């Protein structure tokens, strides 16, 4: 190659065409037909060098933007759709308390993320589990069990054997959104995919669900990711 452009991963298969993919960390992945030689592959990559480097820089810039800074006083955290400011206090009975604001003992600032995760998880267990029971009974649906997880890319999921999983982060959203996510996963007990039939089930169980989908699309990016 005429440049130092590096192929980080080369995947050969029975495909007919060559494709270049820039992954989230900026690395270059190439998918190539089995018959192409390494030299032929590198020649194509060299021709696309300007495009590759531009995409890599974009990917790395986005990655840097998503690095979470340390938690500090004044940060905002949501509970049931409402924002609460974090304040540091010198003394209080528990490490973290919500009472009009999130109050954290200053001496526990280094553990802030874990303390917030534990707090949200406790609230999720207390709030989500009873709502699942109520909504499932209301719609005559049967599930195997419910778990609260630390997932940060999915609000909920439905296992193949009927287990329902919900991220602790779900309690950061308004109650109506929580109910929508629960209904969404309960609907998967009837239809496993996201076909038109699935959304018809969701519509029948929760006619106004589109408002909650819109809220998630508009606001989920502003909710804390503590992992």
**Residue 73 placed within a domain:** no
- What mean pLDDT comes out for the span 27-53? 90
Q: What is the band of 63 on the pLDDT scale with cuts at 50, 70, 90?
A: low
Half-sphere exposure in the Cβ direction for 184 (13 Å, CA):
18
Judge whether residue 89 has pLDDT over 50: yes
Total number of domains constituting the chain: 2
Judgement on whether residues 160 and 215 belong to the same structural domain of the protein:
yes
**Residue 208 placed within a domain:** yes
**Residue 98 placed within a domain:** no
Structural domain for 218, as ranges: 111-222
**Residue 97 placed within a domain:** no
CATH number, domain of 196, equals 3.30.2010.10
- Please report the DSSP string for 77-143 in residue order: EEETTEEEEEEEES--SSSEEESSSEEEEGGGGGGHHHHHHHHHHHHHHHHHHHHHHHHHHHTT---
- What mean pLDDT comes out for the span 173-189? 97
Judgement on whether residues 42 and 135 belong to the same structural domain of the protein:
no
**Residue 198 placed within a domain:** yes
**Residue 52 placed within a domain:** yes
Q: What is the pLDDT of residues 185-225, one digit of tens each?
A: 999 999 999 999 999 999 999 999 999 999 999 998 888 87
Q: What is the pLDDT of residues 118-148, one digit of tens each?
A: 999 999 999 999 999 999 999 999 999 999 9
Judgement on whether residues 57 and 125 belong to the same structural domain of the protein:
no
**Residue 102 placed within a domain:** no
Judgement on whether residues 140 and 48 belong to the same structural domain of the protein:
no
């Amino acid at each position: 190659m005429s440049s130092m452009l590096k192929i980080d991963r080369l995947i050969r298969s029975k495909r007919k065409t060559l494709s270049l993919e820039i992954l989230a960390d900026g690395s270059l992945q190439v998918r190539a037909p089995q018959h192409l030689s390494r030299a032929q592959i590198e020649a194509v990559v060299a021709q696309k060098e300007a495009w590759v480097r531009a995409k890599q820089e974009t990917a790395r810039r986005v990655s840097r933007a998503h690095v979470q800074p340390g938690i500090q006083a004044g940060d905002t955290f949501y509970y049931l759709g409402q924002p609460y400011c974090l304040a540091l206090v010198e003394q209080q009975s528990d490490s973290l308390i919500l009472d009009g604001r999130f109050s954290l003992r200053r001496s526990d600032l280094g553990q802030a993320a874990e303390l917030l995760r534990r707090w949200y998880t406790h609230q999720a267990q207390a709030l989500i589990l009873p709502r699942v029971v109520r909504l499932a009974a209301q719609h005559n649906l049967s599930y195997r069990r419910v778990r609260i997880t630390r997932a940060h890319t999915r609000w909920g999921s439905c296992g193949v054997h009927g287990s329902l999983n919900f991220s602790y982060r779900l309690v950061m959203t308004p109650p109506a959104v929580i109910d929508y996510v629960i209904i969404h996963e309960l609907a998967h007990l009837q239809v496993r995919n996201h076909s038109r039939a699935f959304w018809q089930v969701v519509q029948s169980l929760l006619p106004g669900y589109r408002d909650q989908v819109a809220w998630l699309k508009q606001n989920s990016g502003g909710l804390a990711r503590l992992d």
